[in-house]
Amino acid sequence: MVILSYLACVQNEAENATDWPVYSSDKSGSKYSRLDQINVDNVEELSLAWTYSTGDARHSPASTIQCNPIVVEGVMYVTTPGLMLVALDAASGREIWKFDPSAQVDSRGVNRGVTFWSDGHEGSIFFVAGSNLFAVSAADGALIESFGDGGVVDLYAGLGREVRGLFVTAATPGIIYDSLLIMGTTLGEGPGPAAPGHIRAYDVKTGEIKWTFYTIPRPGEYGYETWSEYSWLHNGGANPWGGFTLDEEKGIVFCGTGSASYDHWGGNRLGENLFANCILALDAATGERIWHFQAVHHDIWDYDIPCPPNLVEVEVEGEVIEAVAQPTKMGHLFVLERTSGKPVFPIEERKVPASQIPGEETWPTQPFPPEGLRYAVQGFTHENVTTISETSAEAVRSRLDSMDTGDIFLPPSEKGAVVLPQFNGGTDWGGAAYDPEKRWLFVNASNEAEWISMQPSEPPERFSSYSLGERIYQSNCQVCHGADTTAQPGSHSLVVLRSIVPTRSKEQLDQLLKNGRGQMPGFGTLTNDEKKSLLDFLHDRGKSDLLNRADVEMSFAESIPYVATGHNVFKDLEGFPVNAPPWGTLSAIDLDKGAVTWQIPLGTYPELEARGFPPTGTFNMGGPLVTAGNLVFIAASMDERFHAFDSESGKMLWEYQMEAGGYATPATYEVQDRQYVVIAAGGGGKPGTKAGDTYYCFALPE
């Protein structure tokens, strides 16, 4: 049993080098450890110390684990694909206790980690499953009855308007400041109604809301004029779904916010849309805004800021200044002074193409950091098509002739626009790792193109039930499930969905559409007519069942006149990305120089490897870990391997083939003078590979 007697060490993680007590290592988000028992000289000897299998993976559609474990005084706290909370002996992987939230409430969603708090005597673990925030005893896994309603806080409460039935959860853990638990939310992003993305601080003992920051400003608040008049009542999103970092000494909490909903048409939210797509610095005690920086104005690309900024230091003209460094989906790294938000390196507002979609008013400029801080491939033309084969290259060029190509901020069009990076491209929720000794940032990125087109949401006067269902699928479901009719092991593809739907009863399907499951949000706002048509499309029926527009009730066609056809996968003849590799990278950025020091492909396709191709990189999901042993550990890639790289050079020193992809961020810690490195191999998720249920833990031989 864990002895919870060292609150001061948890509050000052720099002095507590043996544990990993906070999501991303510490409250600065460093993903850094001072441990160096495992180092560049001996990492090749690293071997499996233990594994823990959760036993609740789902294989069709594939589940995932995105959890970054925390370790407190030799006890590890993890979550499972089914969102159970588990305490393990960190040295052996032995299960100590397990808490299953489904006994209390619906526990759908994804969980990336948990938050630990102690009063010096007893410890609490806070984590979210479904739309509920739980407080669980760190000692025995029992609910803490004094928190909220018997240990549970309803995340719908306090959102300011009636949103019950809409998708509201929190995939990423909150952060502790004094006696406050500061939380964001994960919300729906489709054309239907979405909840607002308020930031809320809860009392750690009672669950009472102590302050709220409104990311869509209300009348009279700063930024209100950057939206349409009634956006605060009707628009949603602008939510910090990627978590928080904290300068505890200054009392400043930082986050990055997502785009406003609907993601791809903003005619009902004209303007820059503060505080969507912003780096926010708030007073941690009161929630008052200190400063903001908007990384994307009036987002219609789904270029959320997917993670909080790292707290860093930068030497400028001989003076070391405190700053924050924000990775983005665009592959832009913005470095800003910590207390003022002023750019450390110049940021240019550059003109970008205007949208041609009726009712849309794109912002004329977007901010760009210096070229040295653009670490992902940006924009796509005929010139950078695949180099895997000339046959594939010619086929791709032929397809591009009928599409819009070019700028990174190319607006979605009815014709179809190629987007690079894609909406899951650049850096996602894994964020970056920071080495405070080198003042280097290590960040992974995905470089795969996709295409997106827009179509009127209003159907013609006469249409089939199947065709309406296809439109609804494209605008709500295709972003995750795609239009691919080729099944892959564990994938979420359309053909897999069509194989599952006939095995479910009407009641089960109605419940699924209403409440969602796993990573799938609920679609409770769809009308009965829309639900029937969507199921007709998924059953591959209803093509001759003609309907009259006047007889069909629709939920969003009038308020959102144009919808996307989804984020469409764009592959060559062999199923590889259409653009030239590398398709995934790991970069080291020297913050003093404001430039990439080294960049390498991250991951490989085994089939191309067998044909003699060097590593091409792959789409990747999850973050890096950097240590004082001059090592960068990262899984993330679709080859399902766990890697260790020399942080000085980027040379790969060790890798381990797992049974499923490690789409999570690793952690490292020490127990009884032995250093361990752990990674969740849950597979599935956005990469669409097979599911797994195992935590792999490594150490040097005893």
User: Is 232 within the bounds of a domain?
Assistant: no
Q: What is the pLDDT of residue 488?
A: 47
For each successive 10 residues of the chain (702 residues), what is the average pLDDT?
39 64 98 98 98 93 94 98 96 98 76 96 95 97 98 95 90 98 94 94 98 98 97 96 98 98 96 98 98 98 97 97 98 98 98 96 98 96 95 96 94 94 94 98 97 91 87 76 54 70 79 67 79 86 87 84 89 96 98 98 97 97 98 98 98 98 98 98 93 98 94
455: which strand partners? 563
Q: What is the CATH number of the domain that holds 486?
A: 1.10.760.10
User: Is 5 within the bounds of a domain?
Assistant: no
Question: Where in the sequence is the domain holding 537, given as residue range(s)?
Answer: 458-555
User: Is 433 within the bounds of a domain?
Assistant: no
Q: Which residues of 14-35 are buried (b: 16+ CB within 10 A; e: fewer)?
A: eebbbbbbbbbbbbbbbbbbbb
- State which H helix or E strand residue 509 sits in: helix 506-515
Q: What is the pLDDT of residue 565?
A: 87
Spatial separation of the C-alpha atoms in residues 338 and 277, rounded to whole Å: 18
User: Is 549 within the bounds of a domain?
Assistant: yes
Q: What is the pLDDT of residue 14?
A: 41
Per-position DSSP letters for 585-646, written without gaps between them? EEEEEETTTTEEEEEEE----HHHHHTTPPP----B-S--EEETTTEEEE--BTT-EEEEEE
User: Is 671 within the bounds of a domain?
Assistant: no
Q: What is the pLDDT of residue 77?
A: 98
Q: What is the pLDDT of residue 112?
A: 98
User: Is 515 within the bounds of a domain?
Assistant: yes
The secondary structure of 290-334, three-state, reads EEEEECCCCCCCCCCCCCCCEEEEEEECCEEEEEEEECCCCCECE
User: Is 657 within the bounds of a domain?
Assistant: no
Q: What is the pLDDT of residue 515?
A: 65
Q: What is the pLDDT of residue 87?
A: 98
User: Is 37 within the bounds of a domain?
Assistant: no
Spatial separation of the C-alpha atoms in residues 39 and 14, rounded to whole Å: 19
Q: What is the pLDDT of residue 10?
A: 42
Domain count, the chain: 1
